[in-house]
Amino acid sequence: GIQVEQSPPDLILQEGANSTLRCNFSDSVNNLQWFHQNPWGQLINLFYIPSGTKQNGRLSATTVATERYSLLYISSSQTTDSGVYFCAGILTGGGNKLTFGTGTQLKVEL
Amino acid sequence: DGGITQSPKYLFRKEGQNVTLSCEQNLNHDAMYWYRQDPGQGLRLIYYSQIVNDFQKGDIAEGYSVSREKKESFPLTVTSAQKNPTAFYLCASSSEGFYGYTFGSGTRLTVV
């Protein structure tokens, strides 16, 4: 199956700072998603972004499928942004099965 | 509101027991999935179902079983054959056109 690598594995920010999280995948994917897992374990879908750029408030994401990477931008970070960010992709021809990366653990401090 | 409901939130199992985790969705999604998450790790696929009465093994199906008798329901049984069942279990669903996954809030299973 595909391999999904995320970087950095851990990140500590001061409130108000900006950050970029990266997701590299080993093979071609039809779809890519970004999720945020809050401290209670709930996974929230942030973006469904097979290609191009999308923005939602302080968050935006860009996927360049031909170069096999996706970026998640967090601007003006807040303590509520803390948690784990996962990217996940579906291998071309793999139905709807998502393969997850190991995540980026983000902590935003006051 | 449409969504996925997992129950219970916390579950304790004795050695040698089978336990069943519930997952119900009212999103009219065709596909449903079970993932396992260990501390500090990503999610690994246990089983998935793309249509009623049909399901396939994921990457770590040993020691687990599922059924899909109704579109809305996809229960997961953790059997005594699963040697290390303590984990966080997440259920998800997606529509046929696939515009992303929706996850439930999870069940934390602990062996005592």
Q: B75-91 pLDDT, tens per residue?
A: 999 998 888 999 999 99
Tokens 């260990």 belong to residue: B38
Average pLDDT of the residues in A72-91: 93
Cβ contacts of B26 within 8 Å, gap of 6 or more: B2, B3, B72
Position B1 pLDDT exceeds 70: no
DSSP A16-54: T--EEEEEEESS-EEEEEEEEE-TT--EEEEEE-SSEEE
Cα–Cα distance, B14 to B84 (Å, whole number): 12
pLDDT tens-digit readout, A60-79? 999 998 899 999 999 999 99
**Mean pLDDT, chain A, whole residue set:** 90
Identify the band that residue B41 occupies on the pLDDT scale cut at 50, 70 and 90.
confident
| pLDDT for the residue A93 | 67
Position B42 pLDDT exceeds 90: no
Q: Which of A35, A42, A97 sits opposite B105 (nearest CB)?
A: A42
The residue type of B47 is Y
The answer to whether B80 and B18 are in contact (CB under 8 A) is yes
Interface touch A41/B108, C-beta < 8 Å: yes
Q: What's the gap in Å between the CA of B51 and the closest CA on chain A? A: 12
Identify the band that residue A1 occupies on the pLDDT scale cut at 50, 70 and 90.
low
Q: Is the minimum CB–CB distance between A57 and chain B shorter than 8 Å?
A: no
| pLDDT for the residue A92 | 67
Q: Is the minimum CB–CB distance between A31 and chain B shorter than 8 Å?
A: yes
**Mean pLDDT, chain B, whole residue set:** 92
